[in-house]
Amino acid sequence: MKVLKRKLDKTKTKKSYKKVVWFYNFWSWLTESKAAKKVIDLAEIEDRKSVLEVACGTGVVFELIVHRNPNGENIGIDLSPDMLSKARKRVKKESGNFELREGDALNLDFNDKTFDILINNFMVDLMPEETFDKIAQEFHRVLKPQGVLAISTFSFGEKRVNKIWLWVAKHFPGLLTGCRPVSFKTNLIKAGFSIEQDIEVSQNTFPSEVLKVIKHK
């Protein structure tokens, strides 16, 4: 499937999420929560691990990460300060160890081989296709050997009804803050990951692909 073109504009992205932050959780609950839960399940987070969530948004998934890993290291990054503000309010009641800060998936501010687990939900589908290799390389770089990446993306879907979202992304991209269906598997394999599980999810006709991939070296 041909991926719709997108340009990288971090300022525009921040402004877009500032506009939608007030109803973002409701939208995610309707269309993305099933895939996000599957990501958490596939990550198999145990306590005392080092976990990074890239594009943590309003903290819905990050809260679950901290709850499962109270004595480990939990870091969430996001490009949007407005999303991070929501995340901090959500997670502050958790007693575990965590840090939330601004960050860029194209230049992760962490040393090589830092994390046991990396979580990423519905971010790659917002990024330009020419950045996919760089994102995959950064994910691979910061994970330890045998580290796990659990990731979800807006997909093309397997059912005819799923195709309506490709039409929406093509003709009304602003409604989806610029997100569109993508395939990220080839980039992950190229970066050195092996795909362990590949699951297609459809929630209220919205299609997602959920992957569990492993860094072996």
pLDDT, one tens digit per residue, over 30-82 is 888 999 999 999 999 999 999 999 999 999 999 999 999 999 999 999 999 99
- Average pLDDT value for the chain: 89
Report domain extents, the chain. Answer: 10-215
pTM of the model: 0.89
Whether the per-residue pLDDT at 4 is higher than 90: the answer is: no
Q: How confident is the model at residue 174 (pLDDT cuts 50, 70, 90)?
A: confident
Q: Highest-confidence range of 11-25, 91-105, 180-194, by mean pLDDT?
A: 180-194
CATH of the structural domain 10-215, one choice from 3.40.50.150, 3.30.720.200, 3.90.245.10, 3.40.50.2000: 3.40.50.150
User: What is the rounded CA–CA span in Å between residue 16 and residue 12?
Assistant: 6
Q: How confident is the model at residue 179 (pLDDT cuts 50, 70, 90)?
A: confident
Over range 161-180, report the average pLDDT: 85
Predicted confidence at residue 2, as pLDDT, reads 60
Q: List, for residues 105-122, the tens digit of each pLDDT value.
A: 999 999 999 999 999 999
Q: How confident is the model at residue 24 (pLDDT cuts 50, 70, 90)?
A: low
Predicted confidence at residue 1, as pLDDT, reads 60
User: What is the rounded CA–CA span in Å between residue 141 and residue 125?
Assistant: 21
Residue 53: phi, psi to the nearest 5?
-110, 120
